[in-house]
Amino acid sequence: MAADIVDLIGQFVQLKKAGRNYVGLCPFHGEKDPSFSVNQERQTFHCFGCKRGGDIFSFWMEYHNISFMEAMNDLADRYNIQISGGCNPEIARKAKDRRKSLYMLNQHAMEYFQGVLQDSVKGKPARKYLEKRLLSRDIIDRFCLGYASDQWEGLTQHLRRRGEDLDLASEAGLIVPKKNRSFYDRFRKRLIFPIFDYRAQVIGFGGRVLDKSKPKYINTPESPIFHKGESLYGLQTSIEAIRAKGSAIIVEGYMDCLALKKNAMEEVVATLGTALTTDHIRRLKGYVKEVIVIFDSDQAGQAAVVRSLPLFSNEALEARMVVLPEGHDPDSFINTYGMGQFSNLLQTAVPILDFFLELKLKEQETDEGKIFVMNEILKVFSEIRNLPLRSLYVRRLADKIGIREDIVLSELSKITSKRSFKPYADMTKSPVPVKAEINVSDLQLLSLLVNYTSAVPQLVDIDCQPLLTSTVAIEIVNSIFEVYLKFGEVAYSELEDVLKTDAAREQLREIQHRPFVVYSQEDVKQAIMECKEKINHKKLLASLKKAKGDIQAQNWLVKDYKKKDCEI
């Protein structure tokens, strides 16, 4: 299979065909209206909002936050292509092999844990526990649940017998090294939840105790293939339902996720017992219009709401909140009250801002208390980079506590100035370069040369520079001709390499994805002619200026111009 950019990005961003391009919501910055564009013909993407763009590799690097080499390996794997050139092939091969080995090791470990769970003696306590939690065999199989018994070296010995590389297993976080070059199992006496990535490869594990001992959960530590703050449990089985519904439910833990799954609620994912991160939200926002977040009613759950408000606002994703009655998590709630009551509860989900204000303002009777809480709230607001949304929030807050909006605003600006806050500052990794003024005639010529390559041979012989004003346009046009003269055609992959400045590359993508003028076949001919005319005219004017006073020379110039004009 060849790597197609629409096919690939389409798995992460909902794309709609719009003219020559596909458009969708940018996965790299918060937005409500699509400014993210993918061009199949050129195999490029470009965001008109945050200006990120490039080819299939740039997308993969940016989306998964990985190096170019990793992106190459990933995509080579995915599309079965041989990597050549670029980086040191020996290093690339080793890195690829190592990642592959880590996935394989996790796969073996998962099978081992599954085997222990089904073992008539060793697996008994875990099977009893699962029965108590009303998890059926069907769910156990579907999510590949397993069990780590109380042995210190169960998995270690299993891997050793198989002849696996134990150092690598330790890197995968499966076993822990001891002093004397030996190892012991990380997960003991725990129910095992394998965690999968979007390709359904096992990247890590969560382990839960069966009794009240602490810690209740442990996870695989960070490894080259496992990043806790980016992973969502259950995503590989939920993505179809999430896509179809256009919404997702986020819960806190493995058990909560499975409790909903077993009740045929499929559009659910869980964070791995961590707070929500921007990466989590970005994983989902390509598919959904809103998410419903279900938090426990405890202190930690409430703190999580506070932290997630700016994240949702910055990603421009609507979020509603559900809080469960005290002492309940989704699993215990459903097991006690049934799915019908749970669905009713979902109906009562409130927008995250209302929820947050309610949470903070309740029980604040005194004026001093209100002012104190207002400052707490404004601290959270100050993290919101979406300024229009932030000002709406301020108005709501002012209404709620009965303080004039301008006073609330001035309090907010005290906080933001203390932080020397720059709106949108960290939304783009590299600052958007300052563009030299690009004008209409620049854009017309760029549209023509970039999108209608048949025009290039006809214009290559004449010097187009007099028609252009901006340095960026001049750089692009010169590069197009340079590539054409060198290769006999304009390959855009070559073109990106020839361009020297980011501004030019960005402008090139922009004109590819949103041509300033769209020409028909006939229009192209016309445009080429007009272009030649304009250049001759400009040249004439320049020459006439030079020949000032020399009537004979001026006459000759005009004659020559008319002759050329007739030729055109």
Residue for token digits 């013909």? 41
d(C-alpha 513, C-alpha 46), whole Å? 7
Cβ distance 472 to 503 under 8 Å?
yes
Closer Cβ to Zn ion, 130 or 284, answer by number:
284
Instruction: Answer yes or no: are the C-beta atoms of 15 and 23 closer than 8 Å.
Output: yes
DSSP 68-129: HHHHHHHHHHHHT----SSS-HHHHHHHHHHHHHHHHHHHHHHHHHHHHHHSTTTTHHHHHH
The first and second tokens of residue 301, run together, are 């759950």
Instruction: Specify the residue, 26 or 251, whose C-beta has the smaller distance to Zn ion.
Output: 26
Least distance (Å) between residue 9 CB and Zn ion? 13
- Coil, strand, or helix at residue 561? helix
**Smaller CB distance to Zn ion: residue 111 or 279?**
279
Least distance from Zn ion to the Cβ atom of residue 409, Å: 28
Cβ closest to Zn ion, residue 45 vs residue 147? 45
Query: Measured from the CB atom, is 23 or 477 closer to Zn ion?
Result: 23
Q: Which is nearer to Zn ion, 42 or 52 (CB)?
A: 52
For the CB of residue 467, give the shortest distance to Zn ion in the complex, in Å.
31
Q: Which residues contact Zn ion (rule: CB under 5 A)? A: 26, 28-29, 47, 49-50
Phi, psi of 47 (to 5 degrees): -105, 125
Question: Minimum CB separation from Zn ion for residue 442, in Å?
Answer: 24
Q: How deeply is 528 buried, as exposed, middle or buried, from its count of CB atoms within 10 A (0-12, 13-18, 19+)?
A: buried
When the beta carbons of 207 and 286 are compared against Zn ion, the nearer one is 286
Q: Shortest gap between Cβ of 60 and Zn ion (angstroms)?
A: 16
The CB-of-438 to Zn ion minimum distance in angstroms stands at 20
Of 43, 36, 37, nearest to 79 (Cα)?
Answer: 43
Give one DSSP letter per residue of 168-221, joined into a string: HHHHTTSEEE-TTS-EEES--SEEEEEEE-TTS-EEEEEEEESSS-S-SEEEPP
Which residues lie below 8 Å from residue 73, measured CB to CB, with a gap of 6+? 83, 92, 95, 96, 99
Give the nearest distance from C-beta 63 to Zn ion in angstroms: 12
Q: Which helix (H) or strand (E) holds 290?
A: strand 290-295
Least Å distance, CB 423 to Zn ion, is: 16
Closer CB to Zn ion, 54 or 204, in the complex: 54
